[in-house]
Amino acid sequence: MTANVERFEKELERLNRVETPDWLKSYRLKAMARFRELGWPDKRQENWKYTSLKPLSEKTFVVEAVAPAFSQATLEPLRIAGALELVFIDGKFREDLSRVRQEKGIEWKSLRETLRGKSALTDLTGRKAEENNAFTVLNSAFVSDGVWLRIADNMRFETPIHFLHYSVSGSLASHPRSLVRVGKGASASLVETFAGRGDCDALTNSVTELDLDANSELHHVQIQESAHPAFQLSRTLVAQGRDSRFDSLVVQFGGQLTRNELEVRLEGENAQCRLDGLFVAGGDAHVDNYTTVDHLVPHGSSSQLYKGILGGSSTGVFNGRVVVEKNAQKTDARQTNKNLLLTDEATINTKPQLEILADDVKCTHGATIGQIEEEPLFYLRSRGIGESDARSLLTFAFASEVLSRVGQAPIREHLERRLRLGFSRVGLAGKEMP
């Protein structure tokens, strides 16, 4: 895969010719050197055992392009009613398309604006993304835009915050970085959407860093519905302080190759996290979820529920890892992965993992793989519902358990609408679908 590294290096040379602070040029070059050391991930690495990057490696991407004209109306179905909304087209912040306003207790800037200053990226977060992940390092090498956002201490921010990323240029690689901090005793809801034009074969390689201070709460939803030719790589890093709560929902139903990595560190006592996921794939799409929950201190709790729905000849991966460190006594950790295969050609690889170094814990994990059961299918058909519509109803019911756990009505209703469209794309939606 050396050719891929060399192509990215040439693109970085082009990017650094643009007026850029010296510290940022140095930061990018150091990250690119690290990317060359790490190399392109392949299936010989345990974390990538079930995901081949060959379709991605065969393409050549640029990192700068003039976005073609597109109808702004295409963004409307992706918007969330009443949200504070920041829109990014091909990885670049567009204030003219955003719906932003001054709100008490919240401060935000586009990362492009922030990077013009003298502070290194690591100074903005108080920590930095790990340097042993090739695509995180690649994101650092090309970082140029994204979001820097802070919720003030004790601020209960009720308005949904929405980062809307939309790709319109073909063969373009964008590398957005989002840096979010929730202050002590504060709470907020954040939605990240990644979508694109139907014929767009772009690569989106995003990194999101979420820091939760003591007694804070963050509800985070990530929606990945890029067009089938597109590639979506996403990594979310979460650090939780004492008595904090983090709720995550990842919904995926698009893209030729989608890989989501979610890593949560419970760094303060009594921290809680709940990780939910729903992935829907059809055709020859491939979707991969890799989660890690690291319990570092006592009295933490975590739960995971990921569901997969696979049709056509699609493939799915769930690799969930829970680590309970030696000092993390009284930990309560649960992990479940349930998968529904709609065809004989669809495939799922599931690998739940527990690594327990403490001795006073409650930890469980499990996975199931199955098809639509005949008894409820017969029940619906006996009441005059056609087989195709009955299957759609049962499939939607399987998915809705995850969506029903979303507390905010505007976000939940938005997700249900997008899910119906996602089902239609992969041929699952019947006329009887609710």
Same domain for 113 and 16: yes
Residue 186 is assigned to a structural domain of this protein: yes
**What domain range includes position 252?**
2-66+82-388
Same domain for 421 and 361: no
Same domain for 401 and 375: no
Same domain for 258 and 199: yes
- Residue 407: the pLDDT is 79
Residue 74 is assigned to a structural domain of this protein: no
Residue 231 is assigned to a structural domain of this protein: yes
Q: Is the dihedral of CA 188, 255, 195, 12 positive or negative?
A: positive
pLDDT digits (tens, 9 = 90+) for 256-313: 999 999 999 999 999 999 999 999 998 899 999 999 999 999 999 999 999 999 999 9
Residue 76 is assigned to a structural domain of this protein: no
Mean pLDDT of the 218-225 span: 95
Same domain for 369 and 237: yes
Same domain for 59 and 46: yes
Residue 75 is assigned to a structural domain of this protein: no
128: pLDDT strictly greater than 70: no
Per residue, the 3-state secondary structure of 152-184, as one string, reads CCCCECCCCEEEEEEECCCCEEECCEEEEEECC
- Residue 126: the pLDDT is 47
Same domain for 187 and 50: yes
Q: Which of 83-92, 126-135, 157-166, 373-382 has the lowest mean pLDDT?
A: 126-135
Q: Is the dihedral of CA 414, 415, 418, 419 positive or negative?
A: negative
Confidence of residue 24 (pLDDT cuts 50, 70, 90): confident
Same domain for 126 and 170: yes
The residue count for the chain: 434
Q: Which residues pair with 181 in a beta bridge?
A: 150, 211
Same domain for 431 and 314: no
Using the structure block, give the residue that is written with the tokens 């150091």.
30
Residue 241 is assigned to a structural domain of this protein: yes
432: pLDDT strictly greater than 50: no
Entry pTM:
0.94
Residue 71 is assigned to a structural domain of this protein: no
The number of CA neighbours under 13 Å toward the Cβ of 82 is 11
Residue 315 is assigned to a structural domain of this protein: yes
pLDDT digits (tens, 9 = 90+) for 169-206: 989 999 999 999 999 999 999 999 999 988 899 999 99
Indicate the pairing of strand 187-196 with strand 231-240.
unpaired
Same domain for 428 and 347: no
Of 388, 404, 420, the domain-final residue? 388
Give the count of domains, the chain. 2
pLDDT digits (tens, 9 = 90+) for 310-358: 999 999 999 999 999 999 999 999 999 999 999 999 999 999 999 999 9
- Residue 20: the pLDDT is 81
How many other CB atoms are there within 10 angstroms of residue 150's CB atom?
18
Q: Which of 73-87, 219-233, 312-326, 409-423 has the lowest mean pLDDT?
A: 409-423
Using the structure block, give the residue that is written with the tokens 């002590």.
184
Mean pLDDT of the 43-69 span: 88
31 within 8 A of 5, measured Cβ to Cβ: no
Report CA dihedral (355, 356, 362, 365) to the nearest 10 degrees: 10
Same domain for 280 and 410: no
How many other CB atoms are there within 10 angstroms of residue 47's CB atom?
16
Same domain for 394 and 384: no
Residue type for 408, please? Q
